[in-house]
């Protein structure tokens, strides 16, 4: 079967690999339909990894996928051949200290598809078929749009961040960094009751997408670097900031415009940042990290399926798996692309 496999930086190949095995007890086999290219996929493609994590053997990329069940193993209930599903790439052990505390996203023995942290690597989901535990599937409606359903994973990241922030009802929110995660955070914050959402980015293209996803106001910092100054008046005018870019200047800027006891939720990963401790202390600011997701995946899949959150404005283009290199190159150009997906032929 066809798979999109990374061998080294810039050495991405569409090649034949062994067919997905028949499902064992508790497993299902799924024909992958659509898969979204994520920022981490791009790090693997361009650099062979990130931080200390490096590809040391051929690895299929991808962790944002949807598909159709083609075979069901024994003991599986609630799923049948032909069902449309969103595939959760996260597989916590369920038995470690953090899983037992209800913090599965911090599992000590996590398996996450498309990750080179382990050797052998945890293979990604850009494969024509995958066999996985049925527990990783979220059943969708018969009419579900599988391209949109493939955005369940990034939406789950954003729902987790918004949940950690607590009630947003009536609050003024800033989202900095309006790539797919920032834009989906805007949609999640709007759904959670935020009264006003201000989006900031360096790119007019990204801010256009932010408006389509629910931002009330946008600030293009490349054109007006001082535009945030008014939000810092009177000890700050913003209740909650979601920092989705990972850029140190954005973290520092948030500390200048948050109200006393305001909350900064850091979602984007970036380089280490020196924090403005004077502002944090004297305004009693709260800073909270947000990492991946746990129960939010199923919620995200069902919200998209039901149309409660519509990620359609973020979908730039879908290219066939055989054009995966072109898809990765397009996804790398942030002036032209938000979310690029690859698709596999129907079984």
Q: Same structural domain for residues 143 and 56?
A: yes
Same domain, 128 and 191: no
Tell me whether residue 306 is in a domain.
no
Total domains, the chain: 2
Whether residue 162 is found in the same domain as residue 237: yes
Closest CA to 309 of 152, 178, 142, 86: 152
Q: What is the CA radius of gyration of the chain?
A: 20
Residue 130 and residue 62 share a domain:
yes
Query: Are residue 37 and residue 115 in the same domain, yes or no?
Result: yes
Is residue 109 located within the same domain as residue 91?
A: yes
Identify whether the C-beta of residue 242 lies closer than 8 Å to the C-beta of residue 176: yes
> Are residue 120 and residue 166 in the same domain, yes or no?
no
Domain range for 81: 2-151+311-343
Domain check: are 336 and 264 in the same one?
Answer: no
Predicted confidence (pLDDT) per residue in 28-85, tens digit: 999 999 999 999 999 999 999 988 899 999 999 999 999 999 999 999 999 999 999 9
CATH of the domain at 229: 3.40.50.720
Task: Establish if 67 belongs to a structural domain.
Answer: yes
Domain at 140, CATH number: 3.90.180.10
What does DSSP assign to residue 202? S
**Same domain, residue pair 285 and 325:** no
Q: Are residues 180 and 241 in the same domain?
A: yes
106, 70: one domain: yes
Q: How far apart are CA 159 and CA 188, in angstroms?
A: 6
Q: Are residues 281 and 327 in the same domain?
A: no
Helix, strand, coil distribution of the chain in percent, nearest 5: 30, 30, 40
Q: What is the pLDDT along the chain (347 residues), one digit of tens a residue?
A: 999 999 999 999 999 999 999 999 999 999 999 999 999 999 999 999 988 899 999 999 999 999 999 999 999 999 999 999 999 999 999 999 999 999 999 999 999 999 999 999 999 999 999 999 999 999 999 999 999 999 999 999 999 999 999 999 999 999 999 999 999 999 999 999 999 999 999 999 999 999 999 999 999 999 988 899 999 999 999 999 999 999 999 999 999 999 999 999 999 998 899 999 999 999 999 999 999 999 999 999 999 999 999 999 999 999 999 999 999 999 999 999 999 999 999 87
Smallest CA-to-CA distance from 314 within 33, 43, 44, 36 is with 36
- The residues, ordered by sequence, that sit 6+ positions from 83 with a Cβ below 8 Å of its Cβ are 68, 69, 137, 139, 140
171 domain-assigned: yes
């Amino acid at each position: 079967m066809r798979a999109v496999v990374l061998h080294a930086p810039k050495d991405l190949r569409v090649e034949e690999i062994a067919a997905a095995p028949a499902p064992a007890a508790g497993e299902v086999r799924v024909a992958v339909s659509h898969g979204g290219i994520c920022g981490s996929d791009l790090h693997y493609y361009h650099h062979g990894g990130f931080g200390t994590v490096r590809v040391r053997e051929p690895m299929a990329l991808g962790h944002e996928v949807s598909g159709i069940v083609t075979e069901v193993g024994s003991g599986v209930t609630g799923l049948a051949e032909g069902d449309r599903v969103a595939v959760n790439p996260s597989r916590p052990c369920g038995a470690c200290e953090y899983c037992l505390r209800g913090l599965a996203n911090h599992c000590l023995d996590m398996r996450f598809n498309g990750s080179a942290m382990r050797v052998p690597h945890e293979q990604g989901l850009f494969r024509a078929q995958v066999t996985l535990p049925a527990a990783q599937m979220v059943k969708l409606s018969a009419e579900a749009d599988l391209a949109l359903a493939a955005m369940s994973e990034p939406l789950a990241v954003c729902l987790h961040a918004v949940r950690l922030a607590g009630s947003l009802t009536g609050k003024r929110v800033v989202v900095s960094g309006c790539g797919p995660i920032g834009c989906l955070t805007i949609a999640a914050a709007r759904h959670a009751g935020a009264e006003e959402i201000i989006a900031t980015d360096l790119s007019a293209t990204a801010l256009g997408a932010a408006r389509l996803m629910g931002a009330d106001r946008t600030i293009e910092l490349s054109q007006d670097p001082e535009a945030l100054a008014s939000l810092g008046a009177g000890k700050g005018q913003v209740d909650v900031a979601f920092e989705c870019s990972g850029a140190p200047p954005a973290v520092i800027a948030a500390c200048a415009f948050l109200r006393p006891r305001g909350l900064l939720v850091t979602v984007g990963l970036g380089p280490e940042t020196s924090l403005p401790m004077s502002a944090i202390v004297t305004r009693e600011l709260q800073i909270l990290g947000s990492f991946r997701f746990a129960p939010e995946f199923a919620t995200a899949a069902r919200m998209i399926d039901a149309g409660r959150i519509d990620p359609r404005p973020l979908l730039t283009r879908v290219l066939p798996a055989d054009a995966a290199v072109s898809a990765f190159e397009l996804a790398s150009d942030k002036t032209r692309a938000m979310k690029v997906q690859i698709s596999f032929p129907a079984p």
